Amino acid sequence: MKNLTQMMKQAQKLQSKMMEMQAELGNRTVSAQAGGGMVEAVVNGRQELVSLRIDQEVATPDDVDMLQDLILAAVNEALNRAREMMAQEMSKLTGGLQIPGMF
């Protein structure tokens, strides 16, 4: 019974640390570029798009399809980087233990 109590305390401590980490990572940002830097997306640790920069040069009505592709590429890469950031930090917290359903 003592071991179970210890495990519960450790689980609560881990949960508390995870919540702190998620809050801290929510304030961190990652960015990605597409089209040689013509489009840049910035995403936070909550996987929210917080900024999108588009060079005027690529924002022409003649090639909307290309602009859409560049935006998608930049946003998707930024989201991937945010997920990687979360996974790396989670790995540090869990000692590399893969917990199902956690990032």
* Residue range 67-82, pLDDT digits in tens: 999 999 999 999 999 9
Domain containing 51 — which CATH number?
A: 3.30.1310.10
Identify the domain containing residue 73 by its residue range. Answer: 2-94
Which pLDDT band holds residue 99 (cuts at 50, 70, 90)? low
Residue 38 within any structural domain of the chain? yes
Residue 101 within any structural domain of the chain? no
Residue 82 within any structural domain of the chain? yes
Task: Give me the half-sphere count of Cα atoms (radius 13 Å) on the Cβ side of residue 60.
Answer: 6
Residue 19 within any structural domain of the chain? yes
Structure tokens at 9: 């305390």
Which residues on neighbouring strands pair with residue 8, listed in sequence order? none
pLDDT 10s digits, 12-42: 888 888 888 888 888 999 999 999 999 999 9
User: What CA–CA distance (Å, rounded) separates 31 from 77?
Assistant: 8
Mean pLDDT, all residues of the chain: 87
* Domain count for the chain: 1
Residue 18 within any structural domain of the chain? yes
